[in-house]
A and B are shown apart, each in its own frame.
Chain A
């Protein structure tokens, strides 16, 4: 790119000439492209020599097709033609092969299935002509999917090319691995690529490809990419002369460092040094990597990303050098632009935004944070829409830093203005996010009011999310609950269709729990219901609240019991079945509250439209309520229909919904004790307890409120799974297999937390002591844990009294009890979450509870053993595997492992003393399974043969899988 900058003075003629393509801005380029809009008649330059006449004709034919049918017909004809050519006896020359493959690619692009030609493409790989090889690789990377059965043939071609020492061929092969990225390819090549990458004599372009290829494999099959001495050398690629190599290496190291930061710590100083050289250099130093007067913008961005994997450097000199870089980048933003081209400002700002992201990530230099905030503030009013968008987005993260929250708040008017005036919904959505993030007690009323008024015209796509946000802010920052009630009722009025059940459930929970707002709520819903057309959600809220608290406003003759009832009942016929059911419950509550309307209500219940309603639920309610009101005494009625007890405090269901919608981590933190993160467990307990007291409060049941948490939540998951699958936490099982033959050790460790285990088992019962060690010096807050397991395994956390805080350096202990009900494969998962430095950490660890833990060793004689061995002779009962030794074959170690596995080691049973034989019984609650095993080592071949016989196929298989992994 820079060569435009460099060349300009050399080529003075350029001034007079029409701008070359290099200088054309996108709009100018547009004009060029625009000329060809109608260019269907323009034939490509066939005469260039490389053009393919047959291909051009075919494409023109397709483009001239008047109808879809004609197109399909022409394509089928062509497919038949190619097929016959491929099948024909005549060997095709390279040119024809290329032509046909290009045709297939074109047909594929149009959306037609290509079910042949794969083999021909694979054959092209072994050609020694570049053109043929290349077209073969192209076909494979576009058309062959990762689980094709041709992979082994393709791998063969790749292998040859990697070994060819021809850089062009090597690049083609590396590209293919990276583009397909399948497991088989990773298995075949993952160990080879690091050596290509760090070898001294590898060409730069091959190094670049190798780095990215490795990165890709590390993403798709991380377990197959071996770490080793190459990791130290890859860090030094950051010093490479070729900036393309440095860029590729920076991408690779960033990904690796996210997984194991310790191993790549040395990259910090190298990255800072490199960045510093780029930022302070006169652009001329970097030659071609200067893009529209900006020195190596892409590399700068990558380096700044890499630094975001780490906290601020500890070394003072390094730290100040980095600060200097960041300051320089911020300063450059204020300098007049060196070019008016949009590319110049784009490149410059790409670096600037990344620098700001790093400043926010470090969150440690208040002066830098404030400067960053001011810079973003400038961008908020920039004429470039892209910059306004990015500024709103970055400010969102800035708002959660305590140093800059206040500074962000000063931009509130600009952001509100953006919400009102931006033409682009993408930008408006970012404005909503930012308003949500910057909201606190001081500005909540203003922000909620603005969001409500925007909601009236908001785009449909973002309404539901906005409704949730308004509801959350209103609840969280409510100073008085009357404002809260007003806000939610407004919300229902403005955007009733988008108010999910969670929102109106929540307003009811709050009104029931807050004595002082009940009267106001009753009055307000009563007034709101006066409107001739009101949303069904309002009828629901109104019905519930008047049923509970209608008595608080019944003193006023304008809202006497009869008026209230008539008002509600006037909406009845317009409502859906669930709402009608709710209203019927409100009516029976009225009978208890106001004996004077009893007769009126009984008449309604008795009417044919109720008692003979086609809907079973409505009919049943009408009959039961009518009967109840007739036979029960006032006292009983008063007891049965008494006011709802306060709801237990729990996580706001709407916050949970928003979290689900946005996925964890995307939501700015809102710290408040009420937002108990550990809400889900309590939810289910609530459900149970409410169920148990149902006879006491039929109302709860009838309202379906008790089933909200579970039914509602699962429904939500279903609905939302289409929209966005929340990023699942990967379950750590790195150390899982180490626990097959032992019970104690460290199961999980990262930078923050270490989890140790100590387990004991007896028959079908087990107990695991879990030790959580806080490795940092900072307290973990809201610490909680839970265990989930399949139904064949019952787990129970005994010491529920896990302290919600874990001090820095301290250890916390917990006991998990386990009962094995029947044989199982899936291990339970321990979910842990806590807050560290303001962010929610979630960890999931597979607990090493395997079937063999429930072994009781059984001693037996040689005769017994072989007798039982024969009894278990049905083919399904035996599972056998032969596998290569992964560890040195040491008899003592093997003995210990077999004992650790849980069986008795039977000495002198097998005629061959080198073999190992064991026996034991698996205890589950339902049954006991006897098990015999035999392990035959072959030291010469470094192989083992393992045979298991049990009365159950599934048990044999599982035990075999577990044990064969251990040697």
Chain B
């Protein structure tokens, strides 16, 4: 099971946090800081797995992460997940973001946090992997966008009528 998905930048600023187990706000922030501390001190080209920090459950949990330019994508998982599988999942996530935002960058994550959440929701649900096929994910996201657009134009119509 995936316990948490965290995205933060090179300075530790959180850009997305999604916890699938309940913590209070303070602990969530502390976990983000702790995870940033653990992950950011690692060299490039070392392995992508490490034992979880104390707050998230210690050695029973693994942090699986990838570093893309200014952003770290970190998944905290228990032993029931395949490490390489999760690594692929992160890649699918990033590729999907890239498709949806046409050249994704950190700012897209900042200004469209709702969209990022929605894309993630198509992939991971309640800590379990829902869908790994990018086409399927994008189809769902596109369908949502279409619905959104139609509603927006409806609203405009309301205003002008």
Contacts and interface: CB of A to CB of B under 8 A. Distances in A.
Contacts of A350: 82-85, 87-88
A134 B47 contact: no
Interface in A36-88: 36-37, 39, 42, 44, 49-51, 55-56, 59, 63
Interface in B118-161: 118, 121, 125-136, 140, 143-145, 147-149, 151-152, 155
Which are the 3 A-B pairs with shortest beta-carbon distances? A178-B126, A33-B69, A350-B84
Interface string B86-118: 011101101100110001111110111110011
Contact of B125 (A213, A247, A305): A213
A175 interface: yes
A746 to B, nearest CB: 30
A289 B42 contact: no
Given A146-B22, A424-B46, 11 more contacts: A29-B69, A39-B105, A178-B127, A244-B131, A248-B130, A291-B132, A298-B88, A385-B45, A386-B84, A426-B46, A666-B59
Interface string B49-83: 11100100111100000111111000000001011
A10 interface: no
A208 B147 contact: no
Contacts of A130: 144, 147-148, 151
Contacts of B47: 385-386, 388-389, 424, 426-427
Contact of A33 (B48, B106, B126, B136): B106
- Number of contact residues on B: which range applies? 35 or more
B88 to A, nearest CB: 5
B132 A247 contact: yes
21 contacts: A1-B135, A26-B94, A29-B94, A33-B71, A36-B105, A37-B69, A49-B149, A108-B25, A174-B125, A175-B126, A179-B20, A179-B126, A212-B126, A212-B130, A254-B80, A288-B134, A289-B133, A298-B89, A298-B129, A343-B88, A350-B82
Contacts of A219: 1
A30 B50 contact: no
A429 B58 CA distance: 14
B114 A102 contact: yes
Contact of A135 (B43, B66, B110, B114): B114
Interface of A: 1, 3, 21-22, 24, 26, 29-37, 39, 42, 44, 49-51, 55-56, 59, 63, 93-95, 98, 101-102, 105-106, 108-111, 113, 129-131, 134-135, 138, 142, 145-146, 168, 174-175, 177-179, 181, 205, 208-209, 212-213, 215-216, 219, 243-244, 247-248, 251, 254, 288-289, 291, 297-298, 301, 305, 343, 346-347, 349-350, 353-354, 385-386, 388-390, 423-424, 426-427, 429, 662-663, 666, 722-725, 727
Contacts of B112: 44
Contacts of B58: 723-725
Contacts of A36: 69-70, 105-107
B82 A353 contact: yes
B69 A31 contact: yes
Interface of B: 1, 14-18, 20, 22, 24-25, 29, 42-43, 45-51, 54, 57-60, 66-71, 80, 82-85, 87-89, 91-92, 94-95, 98-99, 103-108, 110-114, 117-118, 121, 125-136, 140, 143-145, 147-149, 151-152, 155
A245 to B, nearest CB: 10
Contacts of A305: 80, 82
Nearest to A139: B114
B60 A32 contact: no
Contacts of B106: 33, 36-37, 39
Among B47, B66, B143, the one with the most A-chain Cβ atoms within 10 Å of its Cβ is B47
A159 to B, nearest CB: 18
Contact of B70 (A37, A111, A138, A386): A37
Contacts of A205: 140
Among A36, A44, A145, A427, the one with the most B-chain Cβ atoms within 10 Å of its Cβ is A36
Given A138-B118, A298-B129, A35 B147 contact: no
Contacts of A145: 22, 24
A662 B59 contact: yes
Contacts of A429: 51
Contacts of B99: 21-22
A30 B71 CA distance: 9
B3 to A, nearest CB: 12
A91 B90 CA distance: 41
Contacts of B68: 26, 29-30, 33
Nearest to B132: A298
A724 B57 CA distance: 7
Nearest to A429: B51
Contacts of A723: 54, 58
A426 B51 contact: yes
